[in-house]
Amino acid sequence: MTTTPPTSPRAELRQRLLSARQAWAQGPAAPAAQAALDKRLAEVLAQLEPDCLGLYWPMKGEFNPRDAARTAQSAWGSRLALPYAEKTPVAMHFRPWSGEAPTVVDACGIPSTEGKPVVPDVVLVPCVGFTAEGYRLGYGGGYFDRFLADHPGVTAIGLAWDEGLLTRDALAPQAHDIRLMAVVTPSQIWG
């Protein structure tokens, strides 16, 4: 007899939110939310004027930050970088990115780029879920938390859809969770 191992409350929450997000991202409200989040993020980045902006290649219904990347390049001459994750040991660093379609896939199967590691001064972090205080629920690997713990001077901005807002009871921060400076959604800035 085969038994299924129990899943953690966070894993169950993550799966529920990912399923809901993917369904929502294919619906009629998604394009307007993308445009609203683009506008709000541009306002935040205008205050920060990053020298090097770390972002991510969108997947699973995430906000697509490519327009923000183009704005950062043209408005402030920002360099861009994409994360590159390794499984053994578990680690993540950023590599320079031109803004074109990524040509490399990292050890986790996520599109990335080639090049020597760089440390962005501002990093955009995808959120599966988040709290009003700036804590995030990610994909469960701890890659961004490890990177941010190793680089405490980096400004971390979460990006999420409003539907990912969680109460502090639903997502109680754990010792390894790194609080983001802010979480930007289509409707407001949290944190």
* Mean pLDDT score, 30-53: 96
CA-based diameter of the chain, in Å?
A: 61
Q: What is the pLDDT of residues 102-149, one digit of tens each?
A: 999 999 999 999 999 999 999 999 999 999 999 999 999 999 999 999
Return the structure tokens found at 150.
Answer: 């190793």
Q: What is the pLDDT of residues 56-112, one digit of tens each?
A: 999 999 999 999 999 999 999 999 999 999 999 999 999 999 999 999 999 999 999
Confidence band, pLDDT 50/70/90 cuts, at residue 6: low
Distances (CA, A) of 173 to 10, 52, 74, 132: 11, 29, 37, 12
The secondary structure of 144-189, three-state, reads HHHHHHHCCCCEEEEECCHHHEECCCCCCCCCCCCCCCEEECCCCE
pLDDT more than 70, % of the chain: 96
Indicate the burial class of 102 (C-beta count within 10 angstroms; 0-12, 13-18, 19 or more): middle
The pTM score is: 0.93
Mean pLDDT of the chain: 93
Amino acid 176: pLDDT: 87
- Indicate the residue type of 83: P
Amino acid 61: pLDDT: 94
Place of tokens 């306002």: 43
